[in-house]
A and B are shown apart, each in its own frame.
Chain A
Amino acid sequence: MLSLFKFKGGVKPQTNKTQSVSEPIAVAPLPSRLFVPLHQSIGGTPQPLVQAGDRVLKGQLIGAADGWISSAVHAPTSGTVRTIAEHVAAHPSGLTTLSVEIEPDGKDEWIERTPIDYATLPPERVRELLREAGVVGLGGAVFPTHGKLTASKTVPMDELVINGAECEPFITCDDLLMRERAEEVIRGVGIFRDLLQPKRVLIGIEDNKPEAVAALQAAVAKLGEKFEVIAVPTRYPAGGAKQLIRVLTGKEVPSTKRSTDLGVQCFNVATAYTAWRAVTHGEPVISRIVTLTGNVERPRNWEALIGTPLSEFVALGQPKADTNGYLMGGPMMGFEMPAMDAPLVKATNCIIAGSPTLFPPKAPEMPCIRCGECAKVCPHELQPFEMYWFSRAHNFGKTQEYHIFDCIECGCCSFVCPSRIPLVQYFRFAKSEIWAREKEKNAADQAKARFEWKTEREEREKAEKAEKLARAAAAQAAKKAAEAAAAAATPAAASDATPEPATETAVAVTAQALLPAATEPATTTDAPVDAEAAKKAAIAAAMERARAQRAAIQPKNTENLTLLQQKDIAAVDALRQQAGIEPSPAAEAEEPKS
């Protein structure tokens, strides 16, 4: 039997999980509309591959992964694309995000699916398959899974940790998935194992889910795997990746390192399940299991399509009359859904209908009395009250000294605070301020670098110009001298005087041109007419060079543009062309990223 480790801190809120586990997972009926956001993972935003009016099939690619850390998006059912437009996102801000609106045709007609035996494929191809199938971390972070499936080159892979802890109160989607689809979860874990080649595979489940533990153990035995299914003590946030890694392996992954640097990697059970479906059944991630619980008549788990509007989803559970809002995620780290037409996304593990009795209004914030409860429960062993103090004082340097970026925002500190201080909010504020300032500083640094580069270039061009000019003048002078010499052949009287100064001038000019600082064609005073011509020639040459340079420059930073940015650029270019100015690559490169 494996001996478990402990992580410090943590809290034990009411789990509230029993309400939603009495019924099996049900497949949610097709909604009338789907709003599928293109950006559903960490990393690049996929470009839409369909247009309004297109008919799409279930599982059809509608947004291809953009860059390596990005993940594809697919049509959750067959139907017609109505619009590709900004739609309210499943995000507390209430901001919009580019989404594909699909009107289902009710046929639920699949694309052609090709089952693959992944053992026949090279590992890179399997990673690509996962990327193309939109497999992302379904524990909530939605990090593209294929990006985590490469072991460190220097550190041997010791443990693969599979996270079935599900520590947040109310949420039971992973519990039910493990109970009902244990075999496929284990097969999915097998894919991860084959790609990472760890020495051990540890599956951690909080001990309040004995059915899930038993189901996975049975599946492991049935498939003849050597995975260890381990019940871990129920204590929030045991399901945090770093906490679970600590509990199962004793390793502490600091914020400055990747877990693979310590020879360990962690995936959620639902991610393993979708990986299996994607690789061997050719089914991309178009649905997920969502717990619908809280203030509803019928709490249970639903397999719902990505893009289902919140209003249609919650109707399945029959919200009670005093429901006054919906949380996405758990009550510890979740957030209020900003609108009823906000869609379910890959990160949506749970929807909790709230009511004044379920989540009573918070008492007003009191001053901190430094009781240290927050420090006692912090799983990262931080001093939250100190970070609070400095966040409040806008002393962000100090918050970093107290390791604010090690805060995982689990909410344990706010949970226990007797003064009811929304500590996590203070930390988010401090973090975003620090990020904003860093961005500002980077922008300033870049501007400075650009300015310096420009000055340097201007000076170099000046020098080059002078050199060219001098060379032209010298050539002219030499030519003149030659002419003069030829002319002198007949009038012998002038023969001695003229060629000599001309040669001298030529020599002087060449000498001057060798000095880069000599920008003024001082020597032209000797031959004003030639200098005028030379100047014109030089200007013409410079213009020609500039044109050639412009043509040669490739646009920069244009690979990762979103659709909106591209539209903006197209509009600017059109205007410029109307005004008779050529599209300037330099201007494009300087387009603001947002």
Chain B
Amino acid sequence: MDFSTPPYLLKNASVQRVMLQVLAALLPGIAAYVWIFGPIILVQLALTTATALAAEAAMLKLREKPLAMFVSDGSAIVTAWLIALTFPPLSPWWLVVAGTLFAVVIAKHLYGGLGQNPFNPAMVAFAVCIVSFPALMSQWPSVGLQVSFADQARVVFGMMPRLDAISGATPLDTLKTALKLEEGTVSVTQLLADQTVYGFFAGRGWEWVTGGYLLGGIFLLWRGIISWHAPLSFIAGLTLLSGALWAWHPAQFANPFFHLFSGGAMLGAWFIVTDPVSGCTTTKGKLIFGFVAGALAYLIRVFGGYPDGVAFAVLLMNICVPLIDHYTQPAIFGMKDKP
């Protein structure tokens, strides 16, 4: 009997349980990913996981922290998986490893490790890599092309030249480029009609992967791991802004549905803006954080120079967290009448 401190009864909860459920929630998305793009993503997942755990262990050792307790908490694996899922699956191994190292060593441990990082480590990794290697970070596999798993692995490990034929931009990026190149001559509706690129509603293949993330998000919501505030307000921010522009000029702007299910929107909504460590903690704060991040993600992906805007939107909002939290403290029990 542990008499140190009341309460003596504790709920069966732990950081590890939380992290494991987040990992479980990623599985539907990963399954769709494998189905659409082949098992190469599993190689990337293994690569990032191994790198993250090794970096985590090394940093814990350096910082003289208990190794087993922290390595097994699962937080590094969550970061690793999110990196693997946001990077192009045919990224060279060194890019993925560098991104993961940056996330774990610099974005996480140099700030104090678990619970202390002001920025989402996976998003830091993505931002650093897309700024440093914009070309590599923009090459996504074309869904129509059938390249054997062995050849994909060769590409990843640098044993085969990167062929333009096997990779291209994401549907989101393709749309943006097409609109830019053929300004005024082609409408979004016409472009989206091309099912070989855009699938049913949001990019061929991608709609299934992002749908899988949505499923995972609903699971997390049901398990009480996340609250609805940040993800739904993120979706609201993205939907309202894209919806307004789409309603105003449907030829120039894609519909909200397309935006929600392409790029990193779904992963961002359910797995990134819900990161408790780098996100807002108050209810109102979560709503503001999610909404503004959603709107920013849209602005950056549509008007910015990068293929997607979720990572930058989240990082920008991470900066604002202390401010938002400070001004959104809820009234406490018995003090609600006071201003």
Chain A residues whose CB sits within 8 angstroms of the CB of B7 once the complex forms? 13, 331-333, 411, 414-415, 424
Is A111 positioned at the interface, with any CB of B under 8 Å from its CB? no
Partner of B276, one of A336, A369, A386: A369
Interface contact B1-A324, CB-CB below 8 Å: yes
Interface contact B5-A422, CB-CB below 8 Å: yes
Interface contact B18-A8, CB-CB below 8 Å: no
Partner of B13, one of A327, A336, A373: A373
Interface contact B1-A332, CB-CB below 8 Å: no
Interface contact A366-B6, CB-CB below 8 Å: no
Partner of A370, one of B1, B113, B276: B276
Residue-wise, chain B 1-29 has the 8 Å CB interface mask toward A (1 for contact) of 11111111111011101100000000000
Cα A375 to Cα B281 with chains together (Å): 9
Cα A376 to Cα B8 with chains together (Å): 20
Is A492 positioned at the interface, with any CB of B under 8 Å from its CB? no
Is A548 positioned at the interface, with any CB of B under 8 Å from its CB? no
Interface contact B330-A381, CB-CB below 8 Å: yes
Interface contact A366-B5, CB-CB below 8 Å: no
Interface contact B10-A414, CB-CB below 8 Å: yes
Given A336-B3, A381-B331, A415-B9, residue A252 in contact with residue B336 (CB < 8 A):
yes
- What's the least CB distance linking B338 to chain A, in Å? 9
Interface contact A369-B114, CB-CB below 8 Å: yes
Cα A336 to Cα B73 with chains together (Å): 31
Chain A residues whose CB sits within 8 angstroms of the CB of B114 once the complex forms? 366-367, 369
Segment of A113-121, A192-200, A353-361 engaged in the interface with chain B: A353-361
Partner of A366, one of B8, B9, B69, B334: B69
Partner of A369, one of B1, B11, B277: B277
Instruction: Look across to chain B and name the residue whose beta carbon is closest to the beta carbon of A365.
Output: B69
Cα A368 to Cα B334 with chains together (Å): 27
Interface contact B281-A418, CB-CB below 8 Å: no
Interface contact A254-B333, CB-CB below 8 Å: yes
Instruction: Look across to chain A and name the residue whose beta carbon is closest to the beta carbon of B66.
Output: A364
- What's the least CB distance linking A570 to chain B, in Å? 40
Chain A residues whose CB sits within 8 angstroms of the CB of B5 once the complex forms? 414, 422, 424-425
Interface contact B334-A253, CB-CB below 8 Å: yes
Near B by CB (< 8 A), chain A positions 254-278 give 254-255, 257
Interface contact B9-A331, CB-CB below 8 Å: yes
Is A5 positioned at the interface, with any CB of B under 8 Å from its CB? no
Cα A362 to Cα B276 with chains together (Å): 24
Cα A333 to Cα B330 with chains together (Å): 26
Is B335 positioned at the interface, with any CB of A under 8 Å from its CB? yes
Instruction: Look across to chain B and name the residue whose beta carbon is closest to the beta carbon of A257.
Output: B334
Is B282 positioned at the interface, with any CB of A under 8 Å from its CB? yes
Instruction: Look across to chain B and name the residue whose beta carbon is closest to the beta carbon of A354.
Output: B1
Is B329 positioned at the interface, with any CB of A under 8 Å from its CB? yes
Interface contact A332-B329, CB-CB below 8 Å: no
Cα A416 to Cα B279 with chains together (Å): 20
Residue-wise, chain B 190-233 has the 8 Å CB interface mask toward A (1 for contact) of 00000000000000000000000000000000000001000000
Is B116 positioned at the interface, with any CB of A under 8 Å from its CB? yes
Chain B residues whose CB sits within 8 angstroms of the CB of A417 once the complex forms? 13
Chain A residues whose CB sits within 8 angstroms of the CB of B73 once the complex forms? 366
Chain B residues whose CB sits within 8 angstroms of the CB of A14 once the complex forms? 9
Chain B residues whose CB sits within 8 angstroms of the CB of A366 once the complex forms? 14-15, 69-70, 73, 114-115
Cα A359 to Cα B1 with chains together (Å): 5
Interface contact B4-A358, CB-CB below 8 Å: no
Cα A252 to Cα B75 with chains together (Å): 40
Cα A17 to Cα B227 with chains together (Å): 32
Cα A358 to Cα B8 with chains together (Å): 9
Chain B residues whose CB sits within 8 angstroms of the CB of A233 once the complex forms? none
- What's the least CB distance linking B315 to chain A, in Å? 17
Is A382 positioned at the interface, with any CB of B under 8 Å from its CB? yes
Cα A325 to Cα B2 with chains together (Å): 9
Chain A residues whose CB sits within 8 angstroms of the CB of B18 once the complex forms? 369, 371, 418
Interface contact B330-A359, CB-CB below 8 Å: no
Chain B residues whose CB sits within 8 angstroms of the CB of A368 once the complex forms? 115
Chain B residues whose CB sits within 8 angstroms of the CB of A360 once the complex forms? 2
Chain A interface SS verdict (over half): loop
Given A360-B2, A385-B281, residue A380 in contact with residue B332 (CB < 8 A):
yes
Partner of B4, one of A246, A332, A362, A379: A362
A-B contact count (CB 8 A): 143
Given A366-B69, A369-B114, A414-B5, residue A381 in contact with residue B332 (CB < 8 A):
yes
Most buried by B among A246, A336, A420: A336
- What's the least CB distance linking A158 to chain B, in Å? 16
Interface contact A331-B8, CB-CB below 8 Å: yes
Chain A residues whose CB sits within 8 angstroms of the CB of B70 once the complex forms? 366
Cα A254 to Cα B7 with chains together (Å): 24
Interface contact B1-A356, CB-CB below 8 Å: yes
Cα A334 to Cα B281 with chains together (Å): 30
Is A383 positioned at the interface, with any CB of B under 8 Å from its CB? yes
- What's the least CB distance linking A181 to chain B, in Å? 29
Cα A331 to Cα B70 with chains together (Å): 29
Instruction: Look across to chain A and name the residue whose beta carbon is closest to the beta carbon of B226.
Output: A371
Interface contact A418-B3, CB-CB below 8 Å: no
Near A by CB (< 8 A), chain B positions 1-60 give 1-11, 13-15, 17-18
Instruction: Look across to chain B and name the residue whose beta carbon is closest to the beta carbon of A363.
Output: B14
Interface contact A369-B15, CB-CB below 8 Å: yes
Cα A332 to Cα B10 with chains together (Å): 9
Interface contact B14-A418, CB-CB below 8 Å: yes
Interface contact A424-B9, CB-CB below 8 Å: no
Cα A376 to Cα B225 with chains together (Å): 12
Chain B residues whose CB sits within 8 angstroms of the CB of A424 once the complex forms? 5-7
Cα A308 to Cα B313 with chains together (Å): 66
- What's the least CB distance linking B182 to chain A, in Å? 47
Cα A402 to Cα B335 with chains together (Å): 12
Interface contact A380-B333, CB-CB below 8 Å: yes
Interface contact A383-B329, CB-CB below 8 Å: yes
Cα A39 to Cα B51 with chains together (Å): 62
Partner of B113, one of A253, A257, A367, A376: A367
Partner of A367, one of B6, B8, B14, B116: B116
Partner of B2, one of A362, A375, A419: A362
Chain B residues whose CB sits within 8 angstroms of the CB of A371 once the complex forms? 18, 276
Is A242 positioned at the interface, with any CB of B under 8 Å from its CB? yes
Interface contact A362-B1, CB-CB below 8 Å: no
- What's the least CB distance linking A251 to chain B, in Å? 9
Interface contact A169-B9, CB-CB below 8 Å: yes
Chain B residues whose CB sits within 8 angstroms of the CB of A359 once the complex forms? 1-2, 8-9
Interface contact A242-B115, CB-CB below 8 Å: no
Most buried by A among B113, B277, B335: B335
- What's the least CB distance linking A323 to chain B, in Å? 8
- What's the least CB distance linking B229 to chain A, in Å? 10
Chain B residues whose CB sits within 8 angstroms of the CB of A361 once the complex forms? 1-2
Instruction: Look across to chain A and name the residue whose beta carbon is closest to the beta carbon of B18.
Output: A418
Given A364-B69, A369-B115, residue A242 in contact with residue B4 (CB < 8 A):
no
Cα A386 to Cα B281 with chains together (Å): 10
Interface contact A406-B8, CB-CB below 8 Å: no
Chain A residues whose CB sits within 8 angstroms of the CB of B15 once the complex forms? 366, 369, 418-419
Chain B residues whose CB sits within 8 angstroms of the CB of A376 once the complex forms? 227
- What's the least CB distance linking A578 to chain B, in Å? 49
Interface contact B10-A355, CB-CB below 8 Å: no
Is A403 positioned at the interface, with any CB of B under 8 Å from its CB? yes
- What's the least CB distance linking A137 to chain B, in Å? 20
Partner of A355, one of B1, B13, B227: B1
Chain A residues whose CB sits within 8 angstroms of the CB of B115 once the complex forms? 366-370, 419
Is A585 positioned at the interface, with any CB of B under 8 Å from its CB? no
Chain A residues whose CB sits within 8 angstroms of the CB of B8 once the complex forms? 327, 331-332, 334, 354, 359
Near A by CB (< 8 A), chain B positions 284-339 give 329-336
Cα A123 to Cα B18 with chains together (Å): 58
8 A–B contacts from the bound complex (CB under 8 Å):
A8-B333, A242-B333, A252-B333, A370-B277, A375-B281, A381-B333, A417-B13, A419-B14
**Which 5 A-B pairs give the minimum distances between C-beta atoms?**
A254-B334, A411-B7, A354-B1, A367-B115, A252-B334
Residues of chain B having any CB pair with chain A under 8 Å = 1-11, 13-15, 17-18, 66, 69-70, 73, 75, 113-116, 227, 276-277, 279, 281-282, 329-336
